[in-house]
């Protein structure tokens, strides 16, 4: 969408716990917001910080990806997720759901909508939170990576599971304890066969959650 004036500062979109934890990055968030003004970007303005409307203390699992889907209508503010009416699904998401079926022995019932995971405490966060339509990684230097570095730093101080898919996500590996971390290649068609398939992230995450005394995710 083209945005000439953003309706509310990004910082106001943050859930209060997140806004407090990210206080040192609110100025940066404002700078990114100004850089986006007057340009076309995805996801829609109101969805850019959707994942940060989830209370920080409710997060049990974080899944980091690269950047939003660059196809208009696909990105919805939750990494890897799309709305239920999207068909066909993005190929990356198709691969995630193939691994889901292999790992859990069942078919995913939500189409491509992963919001049911989010509602259970799974934070689906892209390394870069916006993208120009049709141009993957086009906002790589907008400041988002510094912002999500701090997000990873905050989450890494908590007892939660970190699932890191691909090189962009793996850059955050050092923020998380080895025993709480699940890493693999990205589920995109270019890399899924290099170790994403067969990585069993869903069952492994639930094993860690059980060891932490937390309720497993109903993936």
Residues acting as catalytic residues: 67
Which tokens go with 97? 């759901």
Q: Which of 121, 124, 146 is nearest to 217 (CA)?
A: 121
What is d(CA 179, CA 195) in angstroms, rounded to the nearest whole number?
A: 19
Which tokens go with 100? 């889901």
Which tokens go with 59? 């997060």
What lies within 8 Å, CB to CB, of 204 at 6+ separation is 182
**Measured in whole angstroms, how far is the alpha carbon of residue 2 from the centre of its chain?**
23
Q: Which residue has the tokens 């090189």?
A: 167
């Amino acid at each position: 969408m083209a945005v000439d004036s953003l309706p509310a500062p990004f910082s106001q979109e943050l859930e209060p716990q997140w806004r407090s934890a990210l206080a040192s990055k609110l100025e940066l968030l404002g700078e990114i917001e100004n850089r986006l003004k007057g340009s076309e970007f995805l996801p829609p303005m109101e969805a850019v910080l959707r994942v940060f409307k989830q209370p920080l203390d409710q997060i049990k699992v974080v899944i980091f990806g690269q950047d939003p889907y660059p196809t208009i209508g696909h990105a919805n503010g939750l990494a890897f997720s799309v709305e239920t009416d999207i068909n066909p699904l993005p190929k990356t998401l198709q691969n995630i759901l193939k691994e889901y079926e292999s790992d859990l022995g069942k078919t995913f019932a939500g189409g491509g909508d992963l919001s049911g995971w989010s509602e259970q405490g799974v934070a689906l966060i892209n390394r870069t939170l916006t993208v120009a339509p049709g141009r993957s990684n086009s906002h790589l230097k907008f400041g988002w990576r510094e912002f999500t570095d701090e997000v990873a730093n905050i989450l890494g101080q908590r007892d939660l599971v970190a699932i890191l898919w691909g090189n962009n996500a793996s850059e955050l590996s050092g923020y998380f304890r080895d025993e709480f971390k699940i890493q693999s290649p990205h589920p995109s068609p270019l890399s899924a066969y290099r170790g994403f398939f067969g990585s069993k992230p869903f069952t492994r995450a639930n094993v860690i959650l059980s060891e932490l005394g937390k309720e497993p995710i109903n993936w």
